[in-house]
DNA sequence: GCCTAGATTTCGATA
DNA sequence: TATCGAAGTCTAGGC
C-alpha cells in the first residue's frame, strides 16, 4: 500500500468520462495496482478510482504538461477493458509505502437472512395458527422466502425485506402469479414483511391484495434469545 | 485529513454488527469526522467506516485492553443514530495530517441522460417514420423517458437504461398500464431501449409485448458529432 | 426534508 | 463464469 498526498488533476475515461480539476488530494495505491483518489469529504466513495485488475505506469510529463506544472503522469489502465485513469501529479506533499499483508477480513452478523430465519421460527407473527411449510420455496423464477399456511390452511407466500420498497412488492407479485397457477397450492395469499415499509410500497401492496407486516427485529431477536436459553 | 497506518481491531455496531480482527490497516479521518478503514485490497469500499455526521473521540484503553496491547481506543459515534465504530489501536506505524481544503468536485459526462438526449434526436432508431412527442413525459407515477409516435401514429412509450434489467421492464409496464388508460393516447406500445439488455429482462419484455431495442452509444454519439459539425 | 431512481455502483451467492 | 439480489449501499434530483 502506497499513500501519496499531492496536488493533481485526474481524468477518467471508460463507462463515462470524468474530470477532476487541480487540487490537493489523497492517492491510495493498493497492492493489486488499484488506485483511489480521495478528497477531504464526501463519504467512503472516492472521487475517482480504478478497480483491479489494472496496471499503474508512471511517466515523465510531456513538455506541454511540464510547462503547466505537471511533475509526473500516472496512467492506470484496466487489464480487461478500456477503462483508464490518468493522474497528473503537480506537487507531492507526502509519499508513504507500507506492507499491510493480507487482511483477515470482516465478520458480519444480522441481515435479511437472519430476519428470514427468525420469522420462520416465529411464524405466528403472521397471525395465530400459522404453520411454516418451508423456507426458500423454489419456483421457476427463484425461491420464495417463506411459504406457510394460515389457520384455515390457505397457502401464504411471504417476501421478506429489511426495507420494503416497491420492487419487493413487484417481486412478490410475480411469485404469486406463478404459485397461483399450481392447483395444489392455489389460492395463495401474499404477505410483504419488512422492518420498514415505504408508503408507495404499502399502497401498491394494498392495491394487489397483499398484506403488509412490519417486523420488529429487536423483539424477534429477543424472543429468539429467550428460546435459546431454554435449551 | 488525517492518515494513520496502524495495527488495530475494529468493531461496528448499528444496522448490523461486524468485527475486524487485529491487523495492520490504513485509517483515514476526514475533516467532517468520518472514518474509513482500508486494507491493501478489495475495491474502493473500505472494510469498515463511519459516515458523517459523526464524532470521533480518542480515549485511553481500559486496563484489560491495555493488557492485550491496546494503545488507544477511537470511538466514532454517528450523530443521528446509534451507529458506532470502535477502533482499538495497537501500534502506530505512521500518522500524517494535512489540510486538503474543499475539493472543486467531479465533472461527469455521458450517462443515461445523454442516451436519452441522443435517442430523442435520432428517434428514427426506433424505426423509420417515428416522431418525437416529448422527453420526460409526466405521469402520476413519474416521467416516461420518451413518448413518440410510430409511422402509423400509434403512441410509443420508451424506457431507456444503460443496462436493461428486469426492474426496468417492470417500470415500463407500470407506465404503459397508466398511459393506456388515457383515451387520447391509447393504445400505447412499449419499447425498452438500452445499451445492453439482460436475457431475463428480454424474456419478460417479450412476454408483455414490449419491444427491445439495443442502443449503440458510440454510433449514436458519432452521428451526433457529425450533426454538430453541420452547424 | 423525504422519496425515488441511478451508479464507473460493489459484493456475495448460485446455477 | 454469468446472473441475480442485497447493501451499514451512496448520491443527486424532484417535490
- Identify which of A94, A87, A63, A76 has the alpha carbon closest to the alpha carbon of residue A9: A87
Contacts of B219 (CB under 8 A, 6+ apart): none
- Identify which of B163, B165, B154 has the alpha carbon closest to the alpha carbon of residue B190: B154
Task: Give the number of other CB atoms < 10 A from CB of residue A58.
Answer: 10
pLDDT of residue A111: 59
pLDDT, tens digit, 9 for 90 and up, residues B64-75: 999 999 999 999
CB pair distance less than 8 Å for A39 and B96? no
pLDDT of residue A172: 87
CB pair distance less than 8 Å for B41 and A51? no
Least CB–CB distance from B19: residue in A36, A41, A107 = A107
| B225: confidence class by pLDDT, cuts 50, 70, 90 | low
Give A18's Cβ-side CA count (13 Å radius).
21
Q: Which of A112-116, A184-188, B53-57, B171-175 has the lowest mean pLDDT?
A: A112-116
Task: List chain B domain ranges.
Answer: 2-97, 112-230
Cell reading at B169 = 421492464
Residues of chain A short of pLDDT 50, as ranges, are 227-231
pLDDT of residue B8: 96
pLDDT of residue B203: 80
Query: How many Å lie between the alpha carbon of A153 and the closest alpha carbon of chain B?
Result: 32
* Dist CA A14 CA A78 (whole Å): 9
If one compares B218 and B146, the residue with the highest pLDDT of the two is B146
A66: CB within 7 A of chain C nucleic strand: no
Average pLDDT of chain B?
87
Chain A window 16-55: which residues touch B at a Cβ cutoff of 8 Å? 16-21, 23-26, 28, 30-32, 34, 36, 38-49, 51-52
If one compares A154 and B196, the residue with the highest pLDDT of the two is A154
* pLDDT score of B226 more than 70: no
pLDDT of residue A55: 92
**What is the three-state SS of chain B?**
CEEEEEEEEEEEECCCEEEEEEEEEEEEECCCCCEEEECCCCCCCCCEEECCCEEEEEECCCHHHHHCCCCEEEEEEECCCCCEEEEEEEEEEEEEECCCCCCCCCEEECCHHHHHHHHHHCHHHHCCCCEEEEEEECCCCCCEEEEEECCCCCEEEEEEEEEECHHHHHHHHHHHHHHCCCCCCCCEEEEEEEEEECHHHHHHHHHCCCEEEECCHHHHHHHHHHHHHHC
Least CB–CB distance from A170: residue in B28, B47, B170 = B170
Q: Which nucleotide is nearest to A49 (CA to C1')?
A: C8
| B103: confidence class by pLDDT, cuts 50, 70, 90 | confident
- Architecture of domain A2-97 in this structure: Distorted Sandwich (2.70)
How far does Cα B113 stand from its chain's mean position? 14
Q: Which of B3-17, B97-111, B123-137 has the lowest mean pLDDT?
A: B97-111
CB pair distance less than 8 Å for A24 and B98? yes
B112: CB within 7 A of chain D nucleic strand: no
CA→C1' distance for A112 and D6 (Å): 8
pLDDT of residue B230: 36
CA→C1' distance for A64 and D5 (Å): 49
Comparing alpha-carbon positions, the chain B residue that sits nearest to A94 is B96
pLDDT of residue A230: 36
CB pair distance less than 8 Å for B101 and A31? no
The answer regarding whether domain A112-230 maps to CATH 3.40.630.30 reads no
pLDDT of residue A81: 83
pLDDT of residue B12: 92
A114: CB within 7 A of chain D nucleic strand: no
User: In the block, which residue shows the cell 397457502?
Assistant: A155
Task: Note every long-range contact of B144-147, with CB atoms under 8 Å and residues 24 or more positions apart, other chains counting.
Answer: B144/B175, B144/B179, B145/B116, B146/B116, B146/B119, B146/B120
- Identify which of B154, B153, B133, B131 has the alpha carbon closest to the alpha carbon of residue B145: B133
Amino acid at each position: 500500500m502506497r499513500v501519496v498526498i499531492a496536488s493533481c488533476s485526474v481524468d477518467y475515461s471508460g463507462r463515462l468520462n470524468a474530470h477532476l480539476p487541480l487540487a490537493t488530494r489523497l492517492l491510495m495505491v493498493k497492492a493489486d495496482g488499484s488506485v483511489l483518489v480521495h478528497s477531504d469529504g464526501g463519504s467512503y466513495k472516492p472521487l475517482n478510482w480504478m478497480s483491479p485488475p489494472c496496471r499503474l505506469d508512471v511517466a515523465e510529463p510531456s513538455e506541454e504538461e511540464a510547462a503547466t506544472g505537471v511533475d509526473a503522469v500516472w496512467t492506470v489502465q484496466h487489464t480487461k477493458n478500456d477503462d483508464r485513469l490518468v493522474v497528473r501529479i503537480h506537487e507531492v506533499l507526502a509519499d508513504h509505502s507500507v506492507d499491510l499483508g493480507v487482511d483477515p477480513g470482516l465478520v458480519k452478523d444480522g441481515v435479511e437472512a437472519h430476519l428470514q430465519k427468525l420469522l420462520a421460527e416465529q411464524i405466528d407473527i403472521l397471525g395465530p395458527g400459522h404453520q411454516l411449510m418451508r423456507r426458500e420455496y423454489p419456483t421457476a423464477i427463484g425461491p420464495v422466502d417463506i411459504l406457510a399456511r394460515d389457520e384455515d390452511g390457505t397457502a401464504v407466500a411471504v417476501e421478506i425485506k429489511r426495507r420494503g420498497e416497491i420492487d419487493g412488492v413487484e417481486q412478490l407479485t410475480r411469485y404469486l402469479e406463478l404459485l397461483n397457477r399450481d392447483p395444489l397450492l392455489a389460492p395463495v395469499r401474499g404477505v410483504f414483511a419488512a422492518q420498514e415499509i415505504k408508503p408507495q410500497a404499502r399502497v401498491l401492496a394494498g392495491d394487489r391484495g397483499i398484506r403488509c407486516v412490519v417486523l420488529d427485529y429487536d423483539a424477534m431477536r429477543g424472543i429468539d434469545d429467550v428460546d435459546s436459553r431454554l435449551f
